[in-house]
Structure 1
């Protein structure tokens, strides 16, 4: 096996993009949860021959450029392995548009494990974690492109997380402790998020290493306050409609002094393999055209907006082993 590309930890505020490691000072306005391409065919059938990279780049570039014109410098691309993550494609798109792109390692357990590879069922948390650590140390899929965060996903049944999803959380904890990569977990309901936080705590990982993805699915907004007070990141990342409701949620967190724990994004895009021209694409602009004017009307300052779009993503994604 080749030598690691870089040391596991890099000091002084570093974030990993598909083009290399940058200072947190260079991250700029960041959309913390978006997609370029997603393929829902399933882990047993997916193959990157199902799409043409250049076609996808040409289809998605205008949407990136539209966001860039509004000041976006970085897009966090949250498509995981076996759902269409294509790091070579992301590098091509970043090179063409000048937008910094951050990709991920990890496995997606939601939707009844449809997107998990076979070994996710048989390997231990330690073995899965080592795969993700190897992505960070050596590069993804034979490239020198490294992940900038860990992406996992769980279903959230009333009876609690399944054993395999608990294993994914434990694996993410182990990988975090070795790499300093932040853990994004597609979760939704608050009950599951707090169960994940307990698993991380048992592994010695602080809540500040955890991003509660799709927190807006939880309608008891007091749970946002509880998670943020613990130090977790509350990701309100479906901002394509219901703008007044999002503005109210963010305002409530601000009033509690917790704006510093909030991430915002659209969960938009994306190219659908198998559909004509990649199907319907949703752009990455609603935050700027719809949400920010509403926040401004509620008294949010430019500093507050920059906290949401620059400071918080930089802190959340910074390489940093967060131990209890």
Structure 2
């Protein structure tokens, strides 16, 4: 099993990741944005400048590594990530994977499915991007990104989960996931572990979309990590408030699960396609959705509520390292 981590500038040891944000997006576009490039062409230079600014801002708070969770069908740009990393020193881990059926680009692999063995082709794609490089670059992905729909893991999505579990068994590369609106966390964990994936290399994401602690305990029972990685998105697309998230963090830490929890924002720092302008009501709700919100607002609130500094060190430093293969 691998004991190094692929970053966009080369391999590092898991112990060298340092303080880590486990789920962010330097650029992101919903599938279909390519068809609008006549009106809204990709301004790579602007995306680069935004990315450099974000990298420097998070590094000022001690962040050493960011996992970019952008899937293949949502505008992933590994060469942009490499340039941001080279110019700032921030370690960036790029993903390989596809988004969930309802908001992803399912037509291609559904077409491949009709022609033959799409699951084998997905396996080949994951393996090539993790071990050889993405596209014509030498940049290797360092994590597999999976996603499921609200209330169901569709047959289309099952192909990706099964292929990812197979790749993970053979390489040890971690799997991170997207759950939709507080559903399917336990089911994702059960499916992956049942397919032979190592639960110590699985992070079930967006778990902070659900405020029922029983949901979290049922997911944790499979031995996986969970992520509260949408801090700052409040009362929108099924999201609770940050205050409710903090209450769950306090409860889970109090129950002894600090060593299985990670925090992030799921920020989109540059939207591909036309500019995104939020309506005033949503703009107020999303005021905290930026890449330093955890360190400026959430961490102080957690400390005041009784979370100890060593718990936060575990959450931001030790848990990501363990996910990527560091010894406990």
TM-score range, shorter chain: 0.7 to 0.9
Counterparts in 2 of 1:16 and 1:153: CA distance versus 1, 3 Å: same
C-alpha distance in structure 1 between counterparts of 2:35 and 2:274, whole Å: 16
Between 1:181-190 and 1:230-239, the stretch displaced more is 181-190
The equivalent residue for 2:270 is 271
Question: Partner of 1:230: helix, strand, or coil?
Answer: coil
Judge conservation of contact 1:225–1:256 (CA < 8 Å) in 2.
no
C-alpha distance in structure 2 between counterparts of 1:88 and 1:279, whole Å: 27
> Following TM superposition, by how much is the alpha carbon of 1:299 offset from its aligned partner in structure 2, in angstroms?
2.3
Q: Write out aligned runs for 1:1-324 (5 A).
A: 9-11=1-3, 14-42=4-32, 45=35, 50-111=41-102, 114-116=104-106, 118-121=108-111, 122=113, 123-157=117-151, 160-188=152-180, 192-240=184-232, 241=234, 242-276=241-275, 283-318=290-325
**Superposition CA RMSD, Å:** 2.4
> Following TM superposition, by how much is the alpha carbon of 1:23 offset from its aligned partner in structure 2, in angstroms?
1.3
C-alpha distance in structure 2 between counterparts of 1:286 and 1:185, whole Å: 22
The equivalent residue for 1:3 is none
Counterparts in 2 of 1:117 and 1:175: CA distance versus 1, 3 Å: farther
Question: Partner of 2:129: helix, strand, or coil?
Answer: helix
Judge conservation of contact 1:180–1:319 (CA < 8 Å) in 2.
no
For structure 2, the 5+ residue unaligned runs are 235-240, 279-286
The alignment's TM-score, normalised by the length of structure 1, stands at 0.86
Question: Partner of 2:298: helix, strand, or coil?
Answer: helix
User: C-alpha deviations, 1:45-102, integer Å up to 9, x for none?
Assistant: 488x941333211122222211111111111111110101000010011112211101
Counterparts in 2 of 1:190 and 1:206: CA distance versus 1, 3 Å: farther
C-alpha distance in structure 1 between counterparts of 2:106 and 2:77, whole Å: 16
Number of residue pairs matched by the alignment: 305
C-alpha distance in structure 1 between counterparts of 2:2 and 2:163, whole Å: 22
Counterparts in 2 of 1:169 and 1:46: CA distance versus 1, 3 Å: farther
Judge conservation of contact 2:205–2:228 (CA < 8 Å) in 1.
yes
C-alpha distance in structure 1 between counterparts of 2:184 and 2:137, whole Å: 34
The alignment's TM-score, normalised by the length of structure 2, stands at 0.85
> Following TM superposition, by how much is the alpha carbon of 1:296 offset from its aligned partner in structure 2, in angstroms?
0.9
The equivalent residue for 2:281 is none
Judge conservation of contact 2:101–2:154 (CA < 8 Å) in 1.
no
Counterparts in 2 of 1:225 and 1:64: CA distance versus 1, 3 Å: same
For structure 1, the 5+ residue unaligned runs are 1-8
Counterparts in 2 of 1:31 and 1:165: CA distance versus 1, 3 Å: same
Counterparts in 2 of 1:91 and 1:162: CA distance versus 1, 3 Å: same
> Following TM superposition, by how much is the alpha carbon of 1:120 offset from its aligned partner in structure 2, in angstroms?
4.9
> Following TM superposition, by how much is the alpha carbon of 1:261 offset from its aligned partner in structure 2, in angstroms?
0.7
C-alpha distance in structure 1 between counterparts of 2:155 and 2:298, whole Å: 38
Q: Which runs of 4+ in 1 moved over 6 A?
A: 278-281
